[in-house]
Structure 1
Amino acid sequence: MNETYLSDPQLFTLDAVYLIESRDKTEMLKRIASKQIEEEKQFLSAVSKKIDLHIWNAVYTREMMKLGAARSYLHRVYNRFYTSISKQSSLSDLHSLELEMAAAYFDLFIGDLDEAESFVANKILPYLHMNIEHHLSIRKLSEDLEISAGYASSCFKKEMGISIMKYAKKIKIERAKILLSTTNKSIFEISMILCFHDQGHFSKTFKSLTGMSPTHYRRKLPASQPSF
């Protein structure tokens, strides 16, 4: 029996494009979460959801290219999610991946990325966002970007007012907050996804930047907050 593919209606509106162009990550994630609730009620098949996410992956890439994102970075993000989408087997897992995908693309162009004027900082910022799920070090960064470690550190600190590694921790914790609020992944799983040394290191870093533990943060989420 062949299954009929039902496309995501939002693919045929300009709302998503507007949110990407305006870089409104919060509203985009809110709309995705709301849409996912309806998909759960309608028992959307994993097959249809996979097709939708492959299309969304291409849409995000196209729109980010319009905004000037480097093709080399986008190529890596696109391939990562293309592979991840194919590996998922349940609607729940695909919903989690959808939110992660939106956050990853938006993180390339929001906040500090608009503020940096230094050529070096503008090379480092997307690199950090692109490698948020990897172990980061000044040495590896300087080798990959072909910039001396000392020069990279001094330029970044001068431009952004924060060290490279502190900034890296900050964006990892921002991603952790999204995972805590939109998925049912355990604290341990999230710490591993974001490449912290262990769960204790992750919890300590999270609390130092937010004032509360990851567990406390999740408990304080509104009762209506979707978790997939």
Structure 2
Amino acid sequence: MIDVKKYCEYIYSSFFIPIYIYENKELTLCYPIQKKYTLPPTTYLIKLLEMRNNLNYTITKFYSYYGCIQIKDSNTCIVIGPISALPYSKETLFSMRNDFSIDESSWESFCNFFYNIPTQNLDIFINTLILINYTLNNEEMSHKDLNINLDSKLHNIINQNYSKHTAESMEENILNNNYSIENEFFRYIENGDIEGLSNFRIQTQNMKVGKIADNNLRQSKNIFIVAVTLATRAAIKGGLSPNIAYNLSDIYIQQMERLTDINAINSLLNNVLYDYTNRTANSIIPLNSDTVLHRVIQYVRENTNKNITVADIAEYFGFNRSYLSHKVKKQLGFDLSNFIRQCKLENAKDLLAYSNKSISEISNFLCFSSQSHFQRAFKNQFGITPQTYRKSV
């Protein structure tokens, strides 16, 4: 027979998720030792203790989870949680005050208790519950056994929140026209229209955005991710190389996740939108161009570090060299060999601005015949030497 108290002590010391032992629905012991105001709220406790299955869990209004294991042939229940996939923020904790009946004098202690709870997504939390249940009740269960309950619970929560949100929007006479605004907004990126983007951002700067997170910081970060995703697709549609567009997206999102200031996130998002628009403007390919030309242009942009020629590209795509040159010139209006050099030099600008590579290393990386050749080509293209450009940025 397992010593339940000792077992729960070991579980807590392994996972650091609060755990509670109830006998006849009365709390007898908990880990860690805590104040009354951090105990599981009655609303969720009743749901857990009145369950029919040996293993169950519930989802709170603040999107955390409590689990419960009823020990067979006994009046003992183990409750574990709350656990959340994201760290508790001050905004989330503030929204939890009513559930836990927190007064001003207990606020700091209440916050510190939740700050010390590790994060864990729902799948891993369910695995933890299944392990505890198997150990105590010798009962095998799987995610499938619990997902039926999850679907029902999530469906109810989503329906409740949808009804509440719809009612509030109707009361405030708010019309959600974000779809048409998004289409117009990202069309400026797709067309490389910097001036249009600037004017449109001024017109929509006070636009109401739907709530997609429980706290303001996560709200800003989620909006950032959505905007970058849409901007990436718009830029690719406008002719920017998918490789460049997706790499930019990864870099910007990683940079954003390091930020903890909402103003800094909004400022970075502004830079992102103009960066994508500017790059698209410099990479524009008519949308009515055939698929082959799009692939040729993307191939050039993604292989600037190789010694490619028009003949190499024609062979790669199965064309005659003169036919491909003529096709590009006729439909896109520029010489393909010049375009290859231009793409290499545009890449050189990025390397000069954002890398520690020397001018010689950049010249070799982009497969120029010599450093002097690279410097001459750069100055002819941009009217400035590579060294002067690097200092200016």
Q: TM-score, with normalisation over the residues of structure 1?
A: 0.51
Give the number of the structure whose residues are more often strand, by fraction: 2
For 1:169-208, list aligned pairs within 5 A: 169-177=341-349, 183-186=353-356, 188=358, 192=362, 195-197=365-367, 200=371, 201-208=373-380
Once the two structures are superposed, residues 1-32 of structure 1 have per-residue CA deviations (whole angstroms, 9 ceiling, x without a partner) of: 64689xxxxx9976852531442258869xxx
Is 2:382 the partner of 1:213? no
Q: Which amino acid aligns with 2:189?
A: I
2:338 maps to which residue?
Answer: 166
Among 275, 279, 300, the residue aligned to 1:128: 300
Contact 1:142/1:149 (CA < 8 Å) preserved in 2?
yes
Among 192, 199, 209, the residue aligned to 1:23: 192
Contact 1:179/1:190 (CA < 8 Å) preserved in 2?
no
Q: Distance in 1 between matches of 2:374 and 2:297?
A: 22
Q: Which amino acid aligns with 2:358?
A: F
Q: 1:213: Cα distance to partner?
A: 0.4
Once the two structures are superposed, residues 140-176 of structure 1 have per-residue CA deviations (whole angstroms, 9 ceiling, x without a partner) of: 4235433333421343345556532221221332454
For 1:77-116, list aligned pairs within 5 A: 77=244, 79-81=246-248, 83-84=250-251, 98=272, 102=276, 106=280, 110=284, 113-114=285-286
Q: Distance in 1 between matches of 2:320 and 2:341?
A: 21
Pairs aligned (count): 192
Q: 1:139: Cα distance to partner?
A: 4.7
2:226 maps to which residue?
Answer: 55
Contact 1:157/1:163 (CA < 8 Å) preserved in 2?
yes
Unaligned 5+ residue runs, structure 1?
6-10, 30-46, 222-226
For 1:131-146, list aligned pairs within 5 A: 131=302, 133-135=304-306, 137=308, 138-146=310-318
Q: Which amino acid aligns with 1:196?
A: L
Q: Distance in 2 between matches of 1:48 and 1:214?
A: 41
Contact 1:187/1:215 (CA < 8 Å) preserved in 2?
no
Q: Distance in 2 between matches of 1:136 and 1:26?
A: 36
Report which structure shows greater RCO (CA 8 Å, sep ≥6): 1
Compare CA radii of gyration and give the structure with the larger one.
2
Judged with a 3 Å threshold, the aligned counterparts in structure 2 of structure 1 residues 132 and 104 are, in CA distance, closer, same or farther, namely farther
Unaligned 5+ residue runs, structure 2?
1-86, 92-177, 199-217
Helix, strand or coil at the partner of 1:147: coil
Q: Which amino acid aligns with 1:102?
A: Y
Q: Over aligned residues, Cα RMSD in angstroms?
A: 5.4
Identical aligned pairs, as a percentage? 18
Judged with a 3 Å threshold, the aligned counterparts in structure 2 of structure 1 residues 159 and 135 are, in CA distance, closer, same or farther, namely same
Q: TM-score, with normalisation over the residues of structure 2?
A: 0.34
